[in-house]
A and B are shown apart, each in its own frame.
Chain A
Amino acid sequence: MLLIHCPYCDETLPELEFAYAGEAHVIRPEDPSAMSDEEWRDFLFIRTNARGPHFERWRHVHGCARFFNAVRDTVSDRFLLTYKAGEPRPDLASLEAAQ
């Protein structure tokens, strides 16, 4: 069972309190009707499926109920960072250097 740091509660807590919520930084377009079928398809279905660091969303569903973002290595399952929703996508190179 993973331990996950909620950036809102500022606590590291067991995975049981959290729910996975898909890839992060996939932003819903301002005006979906202006998008081509291909653009909309990509927004709906195309995901990174990273081997290694992956930007993803989690929800502290049995805690503060907030959605937040995380960088998790999909090979080791290790969390490199969690950060609040709306914060900019962190720079991977500096993150890995810090590890």
Chain B
Amino acid sequence: MSQFRIPGKGRVDHAETVRFAFDGREFTGLRGDTVASALLAHGVHLMGRSFKYHRPRGPVTADSAEPNALIGTSRGPGRFEPNTRATVQELREGLMCESQNRLGSLSFDLGAVNDALHPLFPAGFYYKTFMWPRSFWDKLYEPVIRRAAGLGRAPSEVDPDRYASRYLHTDLLVVGAGPSGLMAALEAARAGARVTLVDENPEMGGALRSDPGIEIAGQPAWDWLDGALAELESLGVRLMNRTTAIGYYHQNMVGLCEKLTDHLDTIPENAPRERMWRVRATRVVLAQGALEKPLVFHGNDRPGVMLAGAAQTYLHRYGVKVGDRAVIVTSHDSAYHAAFDLAEAGTKIVAIVDTRATPEEDLRAEARARGIEVLTGHTVTDTKGRLRVASVTVNPVEGGRIGAARLLHCDCLLMSGGWTPSLHLFSHTKGSLQWDEESRTFLPGRMTEDCHIAGAGRGLWGYGEALADGAKAGAEAATALGKKAGATPLAVAHDRPGTGESHKELPTNRKSSRVRAFIDFQNDVTAKDIRLAVREGMRSIEHVKRYTTNGMATDQGKMSNINGLMIAADAVGKAPPEVGLTTFRPPYTPTTFGAFAGYHKGATFEVTRRTPIDAWAEANGAVFEPVSLWRRAWYFPQGGEDMEAAVARECLATRASVGIFDASTLGKIEVAGPDAVEFMNRMYTNPWTKLAPGRCRYGVLLGEDGYIRDDGVIGRLGSDLFHVTTTTGGAARVLNMMEDYLQTEWPDLDVWLTSTTEQWATVALNGPKAREVLVGLVEGCDISAEAFPHMSVAECRVAGFPARLFRLSFTGELGFEINVPARHGLALWEALMQAGEPHGITAYGTETMHVLRTEKGFIIVGQDTDGTVTPEDAGLGWAIGKAKPDFVGKRSLARPDLVAPGRKQLVGLLTEDGAVKLEEGAQIVLDPGQPKPMKMVGHVTSSYHSATLGRSIAMALIEGGRDREGETVHVPMPEGVVRAKITSTAFYDPDGDRLKL
């Protein structure tokens, strides 16, 4: 039996020991222990080192607000988690854990040199210290200070665990299964509501688990709890333990993170580690209770100094005494009860030191009866003990004067600065908080959501009050749900009501430079830091917070916010509500990235769209690239080719004979109806009225602001039917834009829009031999040069399949695009490959497509344009139907800025040295000798090596570019300045002779 374990006491199973290791040392605990309770049972308080000063620290709490006892836990490769609170991590067989933020051993930490240097790290040191010369960053801050200050190490391997997510709809969600939450759930469930009750702890019951002496309805507290939980279960209430409500979002959506396996000895196969629930509740009851505050005095952070309520919890929930000799220092009645319980368990209570001059006489009498000395109107001015508190110095305070010191020897110091209602979730809803002067704390004010707050969460104290308030909230929620409900009164015996006072830092007679009174333990923020921040000009609590980092650690200031506010308000000389409280943000407690990601990782991170020809590409060794959500064949390397060699071969083969390309990802929209022509005239820049059925045209779509949004070839299949193609990434956007105009601006037009992107598989055939390959497969259409000229479209059959056949070219070669129903796409491809074999048909990917189109100066919307490019800028002025009275964006083309000289225009760019390829995105200057920062006149938009031309080619947007044709510009790069000449964008076959084959 461990030295500090009390046989038979607590909720732990004394019959089942669990082995674990802490910093390589083997320990045993009991089933039901946390790492913290098991270590405390062995008398181990030292569990970590602080963030900045590496001061030795032990647990201050027994719950999820813990700032100090952070550990790394591990269960094999990839399953390392840093910054886990030892106070909530349940023991499991073989658990490996380690302390954090130490250089050397936990008991001898080299980083503690930071503590001796603490004058170097005052409030705002991030802003002051780190502003020294740049070289200090590389030599001092990063390597030394960053290493010395910090939390746990980040895991280095991929997390192999699964994380689940689910939705849940419920009438009533109750957050917190303490006395208030249980009663709320009971009353609502009894009235017939569908209720969900969640609690972050392994066991429900809340504070009652730390107060077994209470009697409810004539039963001991824990017997009553058993009955209440059994009744909830029989009423069909969904009881979720180990489940934290992490955030409260709009319209009663609450996020829950349920921990499923961290407490298990072995993980069941395929079991998710955590599950994120998105709960939509008609009503919510927040019954989160209150968090105990520390008192702020010199040396309040030594191991062995903890909250009195935590000591009470370790005693009753885990059967662990936190020490043999305890000094209590308190400003709240609750710590008396902790002292009495500990005394009964055999801990010597050296004294109860009360900061108040006249605490409740009943409590003092009970202390006297138990032989416990009570020192009223006292302060704490010092503590001693290197790795564990060994003594505390207390002094009477009379009329603001500190009296004679008295030294009390102890092995633990239990403090209570009163209790803060836990209103984090309520604050997420933007509900307002109201300062209550009597309790000197914030209470819930105006509600914005359909929620109720019950119990200690709204400042009530004592079990009788909490139970009654919970019952009332449950009944109110049920009534709001349209149920008939009543709140049954419960008799409570041996209740522990109480009151207290809130303080700024306790008075002291120490020189202020020698006081280290901590507020935020995790971020090592002291009372002095807060006062310094105010002296240096911070007035708003939000500024104080950021300057000092108070409340910015992983515990989000659960213990430190109110103490920080009290001291800041005192320093500013204003009332606390005027200084304000910092904003609480989700999540309530640290939550794993895995829980947020859920199923969205790896192959299911996002949708991968595949064309009907994808399988062929994969079987033929394609390298793929993502294009919006599609995966597209990028190039098809053969026999160990690298990308450059493969692309060069694909380009040359297409220009010399015939290439085949999967263009199925092109967006396709069918525009049909009697007013289809009118609609097209209004949407696209081009005129459509005179385009005959059977012909197609390159269309340009603008935004109303006059900038290019999309482009594509559009075929007219009948007087009332257009086959519109869009860019791969633009399909959904274009359809949305068309629908917008059709539904809201021109609802009178008789037009239907249908997305057909995935209905058609599209294969592009390009090259001088394209017709020869295709001709034998086409039925019902004469595709000779005369009968089917460039920019023709026909419905026919290809390879036996119904097809829409376009003659068009995105390569400058004789080209066809064959659309067949998607299910025939692969068969069409294979038929074309077979027919093309005698001509050495070559499959090419998107990279070759880009090279070929750049050689012709064809643009890609979104690459050669950026949302500020007009048709005129892009050299597409010819595509504007100037005679049309109106189209989307037409009026904007006359805006003063859009017709002003000096706009960036798309031009060609040839480097002086053809072997040098420019970087896409590289900035262009006219004079490379000008002082920095240089005037940038444009940037490179497309740049490729052209095997056909035997040199690099590029396109660029350059101010007044077309008037500068022939001029030399400069592209400064890290390796030196590249010189390039502005040219036309038609690098290859500028007269388009090859299209006329």
B863 within 8 A of A: no
B890–A32 contact, CB under 8 A? Answer: yes
A50 at the interface (CB under 8 A from B): no
Q: Are B890 and A1 in contact (CB under 8 A)?
A: no
Q: Which of the listed residues B736, B740, B891 has the most CB atoms from chain A within 10 Å of its own CB? A: B891
Q: B40-48, B108-116, B247-255, B850-858: which one contacts chain A?
A: B247-255
0/1 string, B252-270, CB within 8 A of A gives 1: 0100000000000000000
CB distance from A24 to the nearest CB of B (A): 9
Give the CA-CA distance A44 to B888 in the complex, in Å: 12
Interfacial chain B residues near A19, Cβ < 8 Å: 736
Q: List A37-56 residues whose CB lies under 8 Å from chain B.
A: 37, 40-41, 44
Which residue of B has the minimal Cβ distance to A19? B736
A44 lies within 8 A of B430 (CB): no
Q: B892 on the interface (CB 8 Å rule)?
A: yes
Q: A37-B896, A76-B448, A77-B250 are in contact. Are A32 and B736 (CB under 8 A)?
A: no
What chain B residues lie within 8 Å of A67 (beta carbons)? Answer: 739-740, 743-744
Measured between beta carbons, the chain A residues less than 8 angstroms from B745 are: 27-28
Decide if B891 touches A76 in the complex (CB within 8 Å).
no
Produce 1/0 per residue, B875-901, CB < 8 A to A.
000000000011000111001100000
Determine if B251 and A2 form an interchain contact, defined as CB atoms under 8 angstroms apart: yes
Q: Is the CB of B747 within 8 A of A86?
A: yes
A99 at the interface (CB under 8 A from B): no
Mark contacts of A46-88 with chain B using CB atoms, 8 A cut-off: 1 yes-contact digit, 0 otherwise: 0000000000010101000111000000001100000001100
- Give the distance in Å from the alpha carbon of A13 to the alpha carbon of B462 in the complex: 42
- Report yes or no: B250 in contact with A31, Cβ–Cβ below 8 A: no
B891 in contact with A32 (CB, 8 Å): yes
| 8 Å CB interface, B893-914 against A | 895-896
Residues of B within 8 A of A35 (CB): 891
Query: Once bound together, how far apart are the Cα atoms of A69 and B745, in whole Å?
Result: 14
CA distance A67 to B891 in the complex (A): 25
Asked if residues B890 and A85 are in contact (CB atoms below 8 Å), the reply is no
Is the Cβ of B886 less than 8 Å from the Cβ of A32? yes
Asked if residues A59 and B736 are in contact (CB atoms below 8 Å), the reply is yes
Contacts of A2 in B (CB 8 A): 250-251
For chain A, the bracket of interface size reads 20 to 34
Check A37/B895 contact, CB under 8 A, given A1-B249, A3-B251, A32-B890.
yes
Is the C-beta of B704 less than 8 angstroms from some C-beta in chain A? Answer: yes
| B795 interfacial contact with A, CB 8 Å | no
- Given known contacts A1-B250, A32-B891, A37-B895, A44 and B705 CB-to-CB distance under 8 angstroms: yes
Nearest opposing residue in chain B for A35, CB measure: B891
CB contacts (< 8 Å) of A59 on chain B: these are 736, 739-740
- Whole-angstrom distance between the alpha carbons of A76 and B446 in the complex? 13
- The bracket for how many chain B residues form the interface is 20 to 34
Is the beta-carbon distance between B743 and A85 smaller than 8 angstroms? Answer: yes
Determine if A94 is an interface residue (Cβ-Cβ < 8 Å).
no
Q: Does A21 contact B (CB under 8 A)?
A: yes
CA distance A2 to B252 in the complex (A): 9
How far, in angstroms, from A32 to B702 measured CA to CA in the complex? 15
Contact call A85/B886, Cβ cutoff below 8 A: no
Cα distance, A31 to B884, chains bound together (Å): 12
CB distance from B753 to the nearest CB of A (A): 10
Indicate if B356 sits at the interface (CB-CB under 8 A).
no
Contact B886 A1 (CB under 8 A): no
For A37, what are the chain B residues with a Cβ–Cβ distance below 8 Å?
Answer: 895-896
Chain B residue at minimum C-beta to C-beta distance from A77? B250
C-alpha gap A32/B705 in the complex (Å): 12
Closest approach, in angstroms, between the C-beta of B416 and any C-beta of chain A?
38
| A28 shortest CB reach to chain B, Å | 5
Instruction: For A24, give the chain B residue with the smallest CB separation.
Output: B744
Q: How far is the CA of A44 from the CA of B894 in the complex (A)?
A: 13
Let me know if A66 and B891 touch, CB within 8 A: no
Q: Smallest CB–CB gap between B836 and chain A, Å?
A: 41
The answer for the CA separation of A98 and B747 in the assembled complex, in Å, is: 31
Taken together as a complex, chains A and B put the C-alpha atoms of A75 and B60 apart, in Å, by 39
Contacts of A21 in B (CB 8 A): 740
- What is the CB-to-nearest-CB distance from B166 to chain A, in angstroms, rounded to a whole number? 14
Task: Give the residues from 690 to 722 in chain B that come closer than 8 angstroms, CB to CB, to chain A.
Answer: 704-705
Write out the residue numbers on chain A whose beta carbons fall within 8 Å of the beta carbon of B704.
28, 44
B660 to chain A, nearest CB (A): 35
Most B C-beta atoms less than 10 A away, residue of A27, A66, A67: A67
A29's closest neighbor in chain B, by CB? B891
Smallest beta-carbon distance B538→chain A, Å: 27
Would you give the shortest CB distance from B322 to chain A, in whole angstroms?
44
- Say whether B723 faces chain A, with CB atoms less than 8 Å apart: no
Q: Which residue of chain B has its CB nearest to the CB of A3? A: B251
Contact present for A40 and B249 (CB under 8 Å):
no
- Residues of chain B with a CB closer than 8 A to A76's CB: 430, 448
B278 at the interface (CB under 8 A from A): yes
Cβ A1 vs Cβ B448 within 8 A:
no
Give residues of chain B (727-746) contacting chain A, Cβ–Cβ below 8 Å: 736, 739-740, 743-745
Residues on A with beta carbons closer than 8 Å to the beta carbon of B740:
21, 59, 67
Across-interface contacts of A61 in B (CB, < 8 A)? 736
Closest beta carbon of chain B to A57's beta carbon, Å: 8
Q: Which residues does chain B contribute within 8 Å of A57, judged by CB atoms?
A: 744
Q: Which of B278, B743, B744, B892 contacts A40 (CB 8 A)?
A: B892
The reply to whether A40 and B448 contact each other, CB–CB distance below 8 Å, is no
Question: Which residues on A sit within 8 Å (CB–CB) of B890?
Answer: 32-33
How far apart sit A67 and B743, CA to CA, in the bound complex (Å)? Answer: 7
The answer for the CA separation of A21 and B885 in the assembled complex, in Å, is 27
Min CB–CB distance B618 → chain A (angstroms) = 30
Nearest-CB residue, chain A, relative to B249? A1
> Smallest CB–CB gap between B927 and chain A, Å?
34
Taking the closest CB of chain A, its distance from the CB of B355, in whole angstroms, is 42
Complex Cα spacing A41 to B892, Å: 9
- Within 8 Å CB of B736, what residues of A? 19, 59, 61
The answer on a CB contact under 8 Å between A65 and B739 is yes
Closest CB in chain A relative to B727 CB, distance in Å: 19
Q: A59-B736, A85-B744 are in contact. Are A1 and B278 (CB under 8 A)?
A: yes
CA A28 to CA B890, docked complex, whole Å: 13
Interface residues in B648-704 by Cβ distance below 8 A to A read 704
B253 touches A1 (CB 8 A): yes
Roughly how many angstroms separate A19 CA and B744 CA in the complex, as a whole number?
A: 15
A37 to B250, CA, bound (A): 41
Are A33 and B891 touching (Cβ within 8 A)?
A: yes
Query: Hey, which chain B residues are within 8 Å of A27, CB to CB?
Result: 745
Name the distance in Å between B57's Cβ and chain A's nearest Cβ. 39
Interchain nearest-CB distance for A26 vs B (Å) = 10
The contact sample of 10 A-B pairs, CB cut-off 8 A, is A1-B251, A2-B251, A3-B280, A32-B886, A32-B891, A33-B890, A33-B891, A57-B744, A67-B744, A85-B747
Question: Which residues in A have some Cβ–Cβ distance to B below 8 Å?
Answer: 1-3, 19, 21, 27-28, 31-33, 35, 37, 40-41, 44, 57, 59, 61, 65-67, 76-77, 85-86
The 3 closest A-B pairs by CB, nearest first: A32-B891, A67-B743, A3-B251
Known: A1-B278, A2-B251; 12 extra A-B contacts, CB below 8 A, are: A1-B249, A1-B250, A19-B736, A33-B890, A40-B892, A44-B704, A44-B892, A57-B744, A61-B736, A65-B739, A67-B743, A76-B430
